Amino acid sequence: MQTKPTEKTAQLPQTLEPRNAGMELDLDWVARVQANTSAIERRAANLPARRSVKKEHQAAWLLKAVTCIDLTTLAGDDTAGRVARLCAKAKQPVREDILQALGVTGITTGAVCVYHDMIAPAAEALAGSGIPIAAVSTGFPAGLSPFHLRVQEIEESVKAGASEIDIVISRRHVLTQNWQALYDEMRAFRAACGEAHVKAILATGELGSLRNVARASLVCMMAGADFIKTSTGKESVNATLPVSLVMIRAIRDYETATGIRIGYKPAGGISKAKDSLVYLSLIKEELGDRWLEPDLFRFGASSLLGDIERQLEHHVTGAYSASYRHAAG
């Protein structure tokens, strides 16, 4: 048997960050934001080759990744039964025999993410677990429904029991450089969330350039976003390392200027355990250890957990098992 990880539990931090109240829109700051695409792409390309963790260290990092997953189902054929199974997996994301072999307890995913209609069955299945429910909102994934309905959808999801709301921005505001409109929209969404935390989905694959990604990230944070998120998972291009580098550096700049820490959520296309390690190392290098906690970092994923569990079993037994032994729900 391999050496056991030294980290015995994985829990949410005792003290969460203060909410991001936002600030006045600073168009001069927005205009100064640029993105050196070639330099960003070189940095991103080098990261997977430069950072590698092995054996018990890898197992510990993979357990950390589990605690930062928003375990997600956003399918048109979702049912209460499917959501209940997903919630059971969120409460016990790694098989008990693997956890026992690792000497680890207290592992859950960071949240469960569902459509509005699935909030009630998720709340029932997660009762007493402390696992938050995230609901996608505002006409997800395109964000093209009437504005008053998008705001009302947020309010209804909060009322139904969601403590986190993943909203989608209007991409046209970014593509036309209408930063005031994007700011006003995000402020309205933030207000509708009340005490629920709001994650702003930028749909970066549809924004045209890394500079647009950087500026949209900044405007959403100015307007009060608690998290910024790459993608809906429905675009042709979702989370990538260059986009992530741009967004987390915007987070770093905002924290330097305001003292407020904003969370980051890459979503879509992250399905392999090795990819989660790359993202975690990027966060550690660019933002520091404080962001390696689920109140400031999440993976938006469904299949990622299965591959992580499979890798953990390999660490314990020395053999790979079939993927069907690690079903998500």
**Domains in the chain: boundaries:** 27-326
Q: Could you tell me if 153 and 137 are in contact, meaning their C-beta atoms sit under 8 angstroms apart?
A: yes
Tell me what the mean pLDDT of segment 280-309 comes to.
95
Burial class (CB in 10 A: 0-12, 13-18, 19+), 32: exposed
C-alpha–C-alpha distance, residues 117 and 89, integer Å: 20
pLDDT band at residue 28, thresholds of 50, 70 and 90? Answer: very high
C-alpha–C-alpha distance, residues 189 and 137, integer Å: 10
Per-residue pLDDT at 101 exceeds 90: yes
Reported as a single tens digit per residue, the pLDDT across 132-165 is 999 999 999 999 999 999 999 999 999 999 999 9
The residue that leads in pLDDT, 12 or 92, is 92
C-alpha–C-alpha distance, residues 228 and 32, integer Å: 20
Selecting among 226, 265, 275, 295, the annotated active-site residue is 265
Q: Could you tell me if 237 and 270 are in contact, meaning their C-beta atoms sit under 8 angstroms apart?
A: no
166 given a catalytic annotation: yes
**In the predicted model, what is the mean pLDDT of the chain?**
92
Q: Which of 168, 162, 167 is nearest to 118 (CA)?
A: 162
Please give the pLDDT value at position 7.
Answer: 41
Q: Which of 79, 70, 231 is nearest to 162 (CA)?
A: 70
133-136 β-sheet, strand order: 263-265, 227-229, 197-201, 164-168, 133-136, 111-114, 69-72, 299-301
Per-residue pLDDT at 84 exceeds 70: yes
Burial class (CB in 10 A: 0-12, 13-18, 19+), 257: middle
274 given a catalytic annotation: no
Lowest mean pLDDT among 11-15, 60-64, 100-104, 264-268: 11-15
Reported as a single tens digit per residue, the pLDDT across 230-240 is 999 999 999 99
Selecting among 166, 226, 275, 307, the annotated active-site residue is 166
Please give the pLDDT value at position 50.
Answer: 66
Superfamily of segment(s) 27-326: Aldolase class I (3.20.20.70)
Q: Residue holding tokens 């956890």?
A: 99
Selecting among 64, 89, 229, 275, the annotated active-site residue is 229
Question: Rounded to two decimals, what is the model's pTM?
Answer: 0.92
Other CB atoms within 10 A of residue 252 CB: 16
Per-residue pLDDT at 217 exceeds 80: yes
Per-residue pLDDT at 15 exceeds 50: no
Helix locations, 161-207, DSSP H = 171-175, 179-193
Coil, strand or helix: which one is 36? coil
